[in-house]
Structures are given as structure tokens and as C-alpha cells.
Structure 1
Amino acid sequence: MLFGLLPLIKMIILIINGIAILSEDRFLARIGWAATQPEQVSFGGNTGDVSIKAKMVNLISATRLLTRIPLIGINTVVIIYELLLG
């Protein structure tokens, strides 16, 4: 079962790596997905009128912020696993 889940785990790690390295200045700003304008929604306010694009921008920026340090360790473990048992 582990051998069946390992490619899926690697794929998820690669997708998160791809999101984490997106440059806001070079790529996201060109397509209009930069998080330069803060949302005017207060804490606990009505978030029903927030667009899908704004939610995706928030998801990308949160992923970039929260996964940079853990990805270093995860990538190191995956690289060592691939070198030893690959």
C-alpha cells in the first residue's frame, strides 16, 4: 500500500513546491494575481462576496508563507529516500 501512495505523495509535494516558488513580481503580477490589494473584509465579516480569484490569490500567498520552511525538510527527506532506495 505504501508503494501505491508514494507517487501520489511525491506529486503533492511537487505541486506545493511549484506554488511555493511562484514569484509575485515576475509571474503573478503579470496575470493579475498579485496580493497587493488587501481585502476589505473584517474579521468575522461577510466573506460570501469574495471572488474565486481573490480566494485563489489568498490560497497561493498562504501556501507560499506557511510551507517554505517545512518544504526544506520534506524535500531533503524525499531526496535522501530517492538516493538510497529510489
Structure 2
Amino acid sequence: MGLWTLLEGFLLLANGLAIINEDRFLAPRGWSFSDFSAGQTKSLKGQIIGLIYATQYMRFPLILLNTICIVVKLVSG
């Protein structure tokens, strides 16, 4: 497993976190943004909620990174 494969794995994980729907998936399980802003930012749950929302706000850089990854895959064979 090389560095490129590891970076692709992190990109896939970020893509998965970016498409999670709050209303359908997070809120029924108590992982909504209102729970995050209630002062639980120090807990593990609060940090995971923060990571999910950070990736959702970074969708345009994710689109750029996905495009770069696709181009590299097409060029390299």
C-alpha cells in the first residue's frame, strides 16, 4: 500500500462524510449540528460531528481533489 492509495482512501472517506444528510441520518440519531453547538465540542462525539460538518462545508475543494484524482488515474493507466 503506497502513499497514493492512502490519500485516495482519505479522499473516499471525506466524500462519504460530505454526502451524509443531516435530516435523514444524523438528526434521528442525535448527531445534529444543534447537539454540536450545545457545548459538547470536547467529547469524541462532538469532534466527530465537527469533522462531518467541516467536510460538508469543504465540498468545492473536494470536487477539485476528486477531479485531480480522476485525471491522475486516467493518465497513469
Please say whether Structure 1 and Structure 2 have the same fold, judged by a TM-score greater than 0.5: yes
SS in 1 for 2:2: helix
**Structure-2 separation of matches of 1:55 and 1:84:** 37
**Structure-1 separation of matches of 2:39 and 2:25:** 24
Q: 1:26 aligns with which of 8, 24, 27?
A: 24
Q: 2:50 aligns with which of 58, 66, 69?
A: 58
Query: Structure 1 residue 39: deviation in Å?
Result: 2.2
2:67 paired with 1:76: yes
Q: Percent identity?
A: 42
**Structure-1 separation of matches of 2:28 and 2:4:** 35
CA deviations on 1:39-75 (whole Å, 9 max, x unpaired) are 258xxxxx7xx4322222122112211x211011110
Root mean square deviation of aligned Cα: 2.1
SS in 2 for 1:30: helix
Question: What does residue range 11-50 of structure 1 map to in structure 2 within 5 Å?
Answer: 11-37=9-35, 38-40=37-39, 50=42
**Structure-1 separation of matches of 2:55 and 2:62:** 11
- TM-score, normalised to structure 2, is 0.80
More helix by share: 2
Unmatched tracts of structure 2, length 5 or more: none
Equivalent residues, number: 76
The structure 1 segments of at least 4 consecutive aligned residues displaced by more than 6 Å after TM superposition are none
- TM-score, normalised to structure 1, is 0.73
